[in-house]
Structure 1
């Protein structure tokens, strides 16, 4: 994952008299652009809108980017990179594949609930990018989705998941259902991100585990 993430069009030079360090201003630009794409959509938000919100001239944006598409690419890339780091970390460590699947789902749900605006922009606006740029973000084999797929496949190899389950379909189903929390989760709602994560993880595991494993896990929970 280590790679140079300088945005397209950014100068290597520090502008004389620049009020804020370049990286601080870039982070602010990404934050404001994310919010504007959320409020107006990619098509509705203009670079002028973003410059106005930042309190800078539109022309100054070209110090950091070459086009609005470049800016969307950087926003989407950042959301994907942060989310992938969360699920990749959660999928590793102790426990059998189903334990790690549960942990990964909980982490993904909690991250989405606490980052509703970036999550919404990612899910709404990814298709606004050209195919090649989408694939550059998602990676070969859709690495984010692959975390869930690979855990299901590993559980199958260990005899913990039913052999009739297609790991790819299971991964898509898990990611699709958990992504949807951004549409209905409310910070002042009846359930916390942790509670929602636990429930969605339990339902996902119940959908792929063998009957014997479910019985054993139920006995452990009820012990």
Structure 2
């Protein structure tokens, strides 16, 4: 399920609950906002999403606020999915990223961010509306690049086994070369609120689904006794990979390419009986 479909389903459910609470029939409300009953029903069941004008009319009629759809993630340009360059980051974002990794989101303040980047607090607020917005922007960028590189790695393969190897390698390399971003995306998601929390949850689910799809493809429907289910296997591969930032420095900072090859071997042992 895509993030947009999930968002639409949640909104449709809220609209239906508000309609029922007001004692409005489906046809009555549809006529009031200029929709067909069938279109309104599809929206309430998450099968479609009306345009902005109809959503505004429904919002006004039912007094249900309509959250803006999340903007598309800003994905840094990259040549090959294996190649990493330094990311251009503005001073406020860099200071926020460093502090959120060092002290945690809740342990960092806007004043600390201002001091770290040599600005006043007012200067920071000129660049970003709130500390939460800064966190959301950083996580969007991290998840956007992670998924984009994963999709590029998947496309750059011939056959299921190579797709699995490329996906694992891509995720390992991202968690080494973009370690602060990867750490933030994994460890501070709990600090997100409202629609941003849902947005990032859907991004994480999308990444897990990419791995589950390739595990299913590799196994070709194998169901022999003792075989760990596809979903569990995919989640185990992702989990062991996203934990790399937790031990990498203390583990001697192994060569990224060697580490990726080791993780590919582990993943293949988990996938193939």
Judge same fold: TM > 0.5, yes or no.
Answer: yes
**Counterpart in 1 of 2:110?**
47
Rounded to whole Å, the distance in 1 between the matches of 2:253 and 2:210 is 30
Rounded to whole Å, the distance in 2 between the matches of 1:141 and 1:83 is 10
1:191 has 2:247 as partner:
no
Rounded to whole Å, the distance in 1 between the matches of 2:150 and 2:160 is 14
| Partner SS for 2:249 | coil
**Counterpart in 2 of 1:118?**
181
**Counterpart in 1 of 2:136?**
73
- Find the structure with the greater CA-based Rg: 2
1:156 has 2:182 as partner:
no
Deviation at 1:98, TM superposition (A): 1.7
1:106 has 2:169 as partner:
yes
With the length of structure 2 as denominator, give the TM-score of the two structures. Answer: 0.62
With the length of structure 1 as denominator, give the TM-score of the two structures. Answer: 0.75
Deviation at 1:201, TM superposition (A): 1.1
Q: Retained in 1: the 8 A contact 2:73–2:141?
A: no
**Counterpart in 2 of 1:204?**
267
**Counterpart in 2 of 1:21?**
none
Deviation at 1:4, TM superposition (A): 5.0
Q: Retained in 2: the 8 A contact 1:152–1:171?
A: yes
Q: How many residues align?
A: 190
Higher relative contact order (CA 8 A, sep 6+): 1
Rounded to whole Å, the distance in 1 between the matches of 2:243 and 2:265 is 16
| Partner SS for 2:268 | helix
Deviation at 1:130, TM superposition (A): 2.1
Q: Retained in 2: the 8 A contact 1:73–1:133?
A: yes
Deviation at 1:200, TM superposition (A): 1.1
1:77 to 1:5, Cα distance in 2 relative to 1, 3 A: closer
2:93 to 30, 34, 43: 30
Unaligned runs of 5+ in 1: 7-23, 211-223
| Partner SS for 1:45 | coil
What RMSD in Å do the two structures reach over aligned CA positions?
2.6
- Over residues 104-129 of structure 1, what are the superposed CA-to-partner deviations in whole Å (9 max), with x where a residue is unaligned? 10111111112222222222111111
Moved more, 38-47 or 85-94: 85-94
Unaligned runs of 5+ in 2: 4-69, 75-87
Rounded to whole Å, the distance in 2 between the matches of 1:102 and 1:108 is 10
**Counterpart in 2 of 1:86?**
149
Rounded to whole Å, the distance in 1 between the matches of 2:191 and 2:230 is 28
| Partner SS for 2:104 | helix
1:78 to 1:187, Cα distance in 2 relative to 1, 3 A: farther
**Counterpart in 2 of 1:172?**
235
Deviation at 1:48, TM superposition (A): 0.8
Deviation at 1:187, TM superposition (A): 9.1
